[in-house]
Amino acid sequence: MKTLKKRISSCENIKKYFLRKKFNTMPLKTCDKGHQFYKTSDCPTCPICEKERKPTEGFMSKLPAPARRALESKQINSLEKLATFTENEILSLHGMGKSSIPKLIDALKKEELSFKTPD
């Protein structure tokens, strides 16, 4: 029993060591609201603020944060506005992934809309 406890303790210490080592290489960032977070990328988006901003209803609530931000960057905040773009135009936005397109198509269909057809 003692050796098992030693092994568990040893494993926990190893895990803590690697977590400390990992986070020591990442800079601690602070957002405008004072939230502190670690991030490996140069992306300045605070994950805590992003969770607070997530809509609870509407087509945007079904999308992951990068896809939502991609649409917001082009001021696309309604399905009517989304329908003025082609599927390829939306897919080419930075942050928009292939998994988001079926969600957008489904939301458009529910409102009897569709993406603009390419010329």
Going along the chain from its start, the domains and CATH numbers come out as 20-53 (no CATH), 55-119 (1.10.150.20)
Q: What is the pLDDT of residues 20-76, one digit of tens each?
A: 555 556 778 888 888 887 777 777 778 788 777 778 889 999 999 899 999 999 999
**C-alpha–C-alpha distance, residues 75 and 98, integer Å:** 20
Distances (CA, A) of 63 to 30, 67, 84, 88, 101: 25, 6, 19, 17, 9
DSSP state of 118: P
Q: Which residues pair with 29 in a beta bridge?
A: 37
Instruction: Look at residue 9 and tell me whether its pLDDT is greater than 70.
Output: no
- CB–CB of 118/86 below 8 Å? yes
User: Which tokens belong to 11?
Assistant: 């494993």
Q: Decide which of 12 and 47 is more confident.
A: 47
Tell me, what's the pLDDT at 52?
76
Tell me, what's the pLDDT at 115?
97
- CB–CB of 85/116 below 8 Å? yes
Tell me, what's the pLDDT at 56?
80
DSSP state of 117: P
The model's pTM: 0.62
Q: What is the pLDDT of residues 63-79, one digit of tens each?
A: 998 999 999 999 999 99
